[in-house]
Structure formats: structure tokens, C-alpha cells
Amino acid sequence: MKSVPSHPLSTRLALLAAAGTLLAGCAMRAPAPAAEPPAAGAIAAQGATPAISVPPTSVGTWYDLGAHQAPWMAGDAPVPVDGANAPTRIAGLQREEDGRWMALVITQMAPVAAPCPAPTTLTLPTRGRDGCLRMRRNADFDGWLKNQSAVLWRWLDARGLTSTPREWIAYRAGNLEVHALVDPSLLEPQSRTNEEFLSGGQPGHRWAQQFATAARAAGGVLTVPPFPFAPTLAAPPAPAASKPVVTAPAPTRAEQVRPRPPVLAPRKDRE
């Protein structure tokens, strides 16, 4: 696991959050909020929501997208927070070639425990009795994410974090809710037939189970498990052994030698 650098977008996210809070304050005539959102380190230190530790990978670069006071993202269960008051952290894996966000991980903490949603076809079994794990393989198909988790969709869309296609994984335990939106290529093998597609979801299901386990174990840090189809950073190759230097022979210079004249035999008529 490694720490993640801050991304220029994190400054933009903070400004958007501050602007949204001010607008909400004007509309609702609420007391004036703080001039600046809490710093990322401050929220992590207070233990309000776990920090995010990410696995190394060579498909892009992980960025710390900051800590925020945000609305509760989960739209499929009772909301335990009023307004944009949930301490929230977000980290993103960005592919450098085209700027695509390959993965987003979000942690949120509520002041009280939040009950789980009623089980649906998206609910996955978990090892622990507490908590609820949900997964949607193609989260944006037929506008599902936009309709079912409108707060999450709008919050990401307003910040340009809407790369599709993506899979949605969420886990709730007590007052902690974690979300992951992941490019399918990181969780599933390439499929060419319906049978391959149906069986191809198993690696993603296993990763979702690992994600839920990490959330249950999270104290101050959520340790994101490695993606099954994201190549990890390999160790640098050992330096090649030095080969002996072969010195070419010095160039030769040919010298022409004239042949000696033949010795003539004496003529018999002159003997």
C-alpha cells in the first residue's frame, strides 16, 4: 500500500464544496458556514472518516482528491445525515494517457449508525453478520446510477468524475459507508460470449467481498484491496552483467611486392 499525491482537482473540489455550501446557506438562511472546508489531514486525525490507503498499480496514478463535508451519497437506504454534513474522503485512480478515472473510492461517516437497505438482487452475501454489501456491474446502464443514487451521481458529475462504464460497489456497516466506482476492465476478464460475461463477474464479486472486509476492519484507514486485473508495479530489473569488451584488431595495410624477374636459361646456339 502507498500514500497518494494530491491532485489539482482536489483544490477545485474544495472550492465547489465551499460554493455549494454558501448557495445552500443563502437559500435556507442557515447560519454562515466556515470560510474553508476542513483540511484533509484534520478530518483524518479526528477519526471522522477513514483515510484511504491504495494498492500500487501500473495502469495509472492514484490521487488524494481531498476531504469534504458532503451530502450522504447512498440513495438506496435511510439517510442518517442532514444536508452536506457527512465527513467524506475520496481518492481516484487516473489513467495518464487520456485522463480517464479508472477507479474512485469514497468513505463517509455518519454521526449515528445507519440501517441497511432492504435486500435486493444487488445485495451480495458477506461473511460478517453486520453490514450490507451491494454491487451493480454496469452502474450507468439505463440511467440506473443517476436514478437510484442521484446524490452520488450529481456530486461526481459536478466535479468531472463521471468516466463510464463503471461498476458500483457499496458497503455499509454501522455509521460507515464506503463506495467504489471501478472501470470493468479492472474487475472482469474480457468476454466474447454471454456465457463468458455471466461467469466473468466472479472476480469482481470476490473483490467486492474483500472491499467489504477492508471496510469492516477499517479503523483510521481503509485499505483498498488490489484489483484482480490491474497489473501491479513490478520491481525494477536487475542491472545486466557487464560483458567483456572485445577490441577489434588494428586494420592492416597491404604492401604490393613486385615479383623478381625470371632467370633465363642460356641458349644452346650460343654455347
The ranges assigned to domains in the chain are 8-223
Q: What is the pLDDT of residue 12?
A: 52
Phi, psi dihedral angles at 44 (to 5 degrees): -65, -40
Taking a C-beta distance cutoff of 8 angstroms, is the pair 49, 219 a contact? Answer: no
Which cell numbers in the block locate residue 108? 463517509
Pairing of strands 221-223, 51-53: parallel
Letter string b/e over residues 53-66, b meaning 16 or more CB atoms within 10 A of that residue's CB: bbbebebbebbbbb
Share of the chain above pLDDT 90, in %: 47
Where does 29-95 show beta strands of DSSP type E? 51-53, 61-70, 86-94
Helices assigned H by DSSP within 108-201: 144-148, 150-157, 184-187, 194-199
DSSP state of 268: G
Containing 217, the helix (H) or strand (E) segment is helix 202-217
Establish how many alpha carbons lie within 13 A of residue 37's alpha carbon, considering only the half-sphere containing its beta carbon.
27
Write down the pLDDT at residue 92: 97
What does the mean pLDDT of the chain come to? Answer: 79
H or E stretch at 221: strand 221-223
Identify which has the larger pLDDT, 66 or 115: 66
* pLDDT score recorded for residue 203: 93
Task: Record the cell numbers describing residue 134, joined without a space.
Answer: 451491494
Give the 3-state secondary structure of residue 151.
helix
Please, where are the H alpha helices in 107-149?
144-148
Structure confidence at residue 4 (pLDDT): 64
Lowest mean pLDDT among 77-81, 89-93, 131-135: 77-81
For residues 20-42, give the mean pLDDT.
Answer: 32
Specify the pairing of strand 176-182 against strand 167-173: antiparallel
Cα–chain-centroid distance for residue 124?
22
86-94/101-109 β-pairing: antiparallel
Q: What is the pLDDT of residues 154-184, one digit of tens each?
A: 999 999 998 999 999 999 988 999 999 999 9
Query: What residues have CB less than 8 Å from 145, skipping those under 6 apart?
Result: 136, 139, 152, 153, 168
Q: How confident is the model at residue 129 (pLDDT cuts 50, 70, 90)?
A: low
Lowest mean pLDDT among 29-43, 103-117, 133-147: 29-43
**Per-residue pLDDT reduced to its tens digit, 176-205:** 999 999 999 999 988 788 877 777 889 999
For residues 43 and 84, which has the higher predicted lDDT (pLDDT)? 84
d(CA 233, CA 50): 25
Identify the burial level of 164 via C-beta atoms within 10 angstroms of its C-beta, where 0-12 means exposed, 13-18 middle and 19 or more buried: middle
pLDDT of residue 25: 32
- The H-or-E segment that residue 42 falls in is helix 40-46
Average pLDDT over residues 140-148: 94
Which residues, 6+ apart, have CB-to-CB distance to 195 below 8 Å?
none
